[in-house]
Structure 1
Amino acid sequence: MNKNKRQAIYQISTLQALAGGNYYGASTMKQLLAHGDTGLGTFAGVAGELIVIDGYCYRVLGDGSAVEADPAEKTPFATVTFLRPKEPMHLGHQATINDLQDVLTQEVKARGFNDVYIVRLDGRFRRVSARTELEQQEPYKPFAKVLETDERRFTFENIDGSLIGIYIPDYLNGVNTSGWHSHFISADRSKGGHVFGLEMEEGTVIFNKADRFIMDMPHNKQFERGNLTASEDEIKQIEQGTE
């Protein structure tokens, strides 16, 4: 890859559209991988969390297990990039996800906090708290309502794996989640989910900073004519899930 080439982060649809219940598949896994080998998202019908790593797409099922997705499966919302090799940064023990995010945010501030970042963190975790969702059927209800009934949570202990994290600056809030949003997959690719809590023993992280943000809008009437606003509370619930 040309080292001087600008790095793009590619996104399908917006978080507002997903929050409102637009779960119609807008791109296949094969099409998604043409734009990046690392990222996260969800599947059509919000049928599980999506993790893209090393050029493969994985779906997290209701029991927390992960399976490789078929290239023809579709996504209504995803964000990916081609991860460029960088000098990894070593991190020591992080007691909580907030502690980890504080460390990562300090690095973002030093690099430029108005840019978009995708990071890959490989580490050893004492605990990862994660979630996924069960597949929905039409008529689709808002995502916050899905989480009230069809969110599934699980905890993995003493596990090696990778976090794929995205940092979105505040001015893009709603287009995606401002701040940090992370998905986990185990080193053996057998389990994972959307992360809302963790304790990490140690790890290494690679930062990829993007100076291009490309978004493909879905071609469906729900997107073209729907309400694409979501309250801060709705977005927070989508990120944190149910209590």
Structure 2
Amino acid sequence: MKKIATLAALLILIATSARAGGIYQYSTIDALLAGRYDGDLSMEQLLKRGGFGLGTLNGLDGELVVLDGKAYHVQAGGEVVTAEPSDRTPFATVTTFEEDSIASLDAVSDLDSLNKAMLDRLVSENFFHAVRIEGRFEMIKTRAIPAQTKPYRPLVEAMKDQVIVKFTGLEGTLVGLWTPGFMKGVNVPGFHWHFISDDGTRGGHVLDVSFDKLVARIDVEREFSMTLPEFLGGVDLSPDRSEALHKVEKDPAE
């Protein structure tokens, strides 16, 4: 399809200057929204591209958290197991985290407050940023989706199966990525957060969070590379899926 070819050409140009440590992405968020849940990239291969990031696993089986070179599989219900090297992903974004700056954060009452506070700390909204926030979280609400069965439904429908859990007084790490708005359709524009507890047993995609005072470590990324899986050749990427993405990212309790 013409749009896929144009996107591929653009991303190839972007990738030509990619360094180790830049943002690496497998597939697109729009393909995931369309129900393409089976990729060919293994955890072993993904971790060679970066040790910090997020995504999901084949079959839309829960959430993926990548931290300190390890891949964690968050299952529906918030329980975590270490992903197997052979486990595969249909969508993931990783980098080699290299701290460029730190920012002290005052008390945060909810996810919107965190996003607003971090927005002020960005070097530019046109650059990618990886953000790592460690410490004690007064409250953190996460979700994960149980593995889907074929024929796969679009993501906005699969979200109806999500399992939401709420933790209090939990020590852990927020793994965050900021994606520029011009990457709409490729990744989630704005902030995207996943969480993993210090003991590696609880986590998920973050729907809400609160904490007292913590420090954000920030990695500014101006280089991007991407693998376009073969299955993209059969996906219609022309529709605007912004509304579906908003429904997927939003806390259903709001």
TM-score, normalised to structure 1's length?
0.92
Percent identity of equivalent pairs: 33
Per-residue deviation at 1:213? 1.0
User: Aligned residue for 1:232?
Assistant: 242
Whether the aligned pair in 2 keeps the contact of 1:39 and 1:80 (CA below 8 Å) is yes
Whether the aligned pair in 2 keeps the contact of 1:94 and 1:200 (CA below 8 Å) is yes
Per-residue deviation at 1:230? 4.2
Which has the larger strand fraction?
A: 1
Which of 174, 191, 196 aligns to 2:185? It is 174
Gaps of 5+ in 1: none
Q: Distance in 1 between matches of 2:99 and 2:51?
A: 12
The AA in structure 2 aligned to 1:40 is: L
Gaps of 5+ in 2: 1-18
Which of 147, 151, 154 aligns to 1:135? It is 147
Q: How does 1:160-239 map to 2 (within 5 A)?
A: 160-220=171-231, 223-228=232-237, 229-239=239-249
CA root-mean-square deviation = 1.4
Q: How does 1:144-163 map to 2 (within 5 A)?
A: 144-148=156-160, 150-163=161-174
| Count of aligned positions | 234
Q: Distance in 2 between matches of 1:95 and 1:34?
A: 36
Instruction: Spell out structure 1 runs of 4+ moving beyond 6 A.
Output: none
Whether the aligned pair in 1 keeps the contact of 2:103 and 2:121 (CA below 8 Å) is no
1:24 aligns with 2:38: yes
Q: Distance in 1 between matches of 2:155 and 2:30?
A: 10
The AA in structure 2 aligned to 1:80 is: V
Whether the aligned pair in 1 keeps the contact of 2:196 and 2:202 (CA below 8 Å) is yes
User: Aligned residue for 1:101?
Assistant: 115
1:121 aligns with 2:133: yes
1:36 aligns with 2:47: no
The AA in structure 1 aligned to 2:244 is: E
Cα displacement string for residues 181-226 of structure 1 (whole angstroms, at most 9, x for unaligned residues) = 1001111111000001011122221111111111101122xx2021
Per-residue deviation at 1:242? 3.6
Equivalent residue of 1:104, what SS?
Answer: helix
TM-score, normalised to structure 2's length?
0.89
